Structure 1
């Protein structure tokens, strides 16, 4: 009986915690959790489980400064791919990342995951931001 009461109290506390989240936090959590699955399916094979990249071939996703300074370009990289040289965290990378077939909402979700994982904390990248960035891609 005592353990049943403990479980019920625990469930009530969990429910209260989640019910106190703002709409923005709920949206962030939805994007982030869906982005995790997209990253695992489409990005992890090259960029690594922890976003560490692969030596001088594939850049890491752990450089918050690079990600912040190139926030708009990240959408273009996913949508159109990237070819040529890239400098991340003072290291040069030469190669090609193919274009993805991800939809704009999937791009928003995976970018929210990447830019808030691996030591990064950049907040939500929502669908509208991705759509605006796509319009600016060259």
Structure 2
């Protein structure tokens, strides 16, 4: 989890903030995120390929753009495992680089 935390701090905090709270109406929260819990593959895809368009997180609508971060499958798995096991999120099944590699655009 420490590697995921370091990567999160380097690539994600400028939008989602160090505590995963995001910015209301601009950058969705990762903390206690119903979207993360229900959309594992879509969340991986967002980090891997970027994302645009409307999503609803914790009953709030977001319509922004997330650029792809250019990370390896291992790095994406590390970040996903960090964010899905912190700030009120619980993931009983760790995400692997192999799982990330199977996520297609």
TM-score bracket, normalised by the shorter chain, equals over 0.9
Q: 2:64 aligns with which of 80, 92, 95?
A: 95
2:40 matches 1:40: no
Normalised TM-score (structure 1): 0.71
Q: 1:122 aligns with which of 78, 85, 91?
A: 91
Aligned residues: 104
Shift of the 72–38 alpha-carbon distance from structure 1 to 2, 3 Å rule, reads same
Q: Which has the higher contact order (CA 8 A, sep 6+)?
A: 2
Equivalent residue number for residue 27 of structure 2 = 58
2:10 aligned counterpart, secondary structure: helix
2:96 matches 1:131: no
Report the alpha carbon displacement of residue 69 of structure 1 after superposing the two structures with TM: 1.1
Structure 1: gaps of 5 or more residues = 1-31
Q: 1 or 2, which has the higher helix percentage?
A: 1
Normalised TM-score (structure 2): 0.92
Task: Please give the root-mean-square deviation of Cα atoms over the aligned residues, in Å.
Answer: 1.1
Q: 1:86 aligns with which of 55, 68, 77?
A: 55
Asked if structure 1 preserves the Cα contact closer than 8 Å seen for 2:44 and 2:76, the reply is yes
Asked if structure 2 preserves the Cα contact closer than 8 Å seen for 1:81 and 1:100, the reply is yes
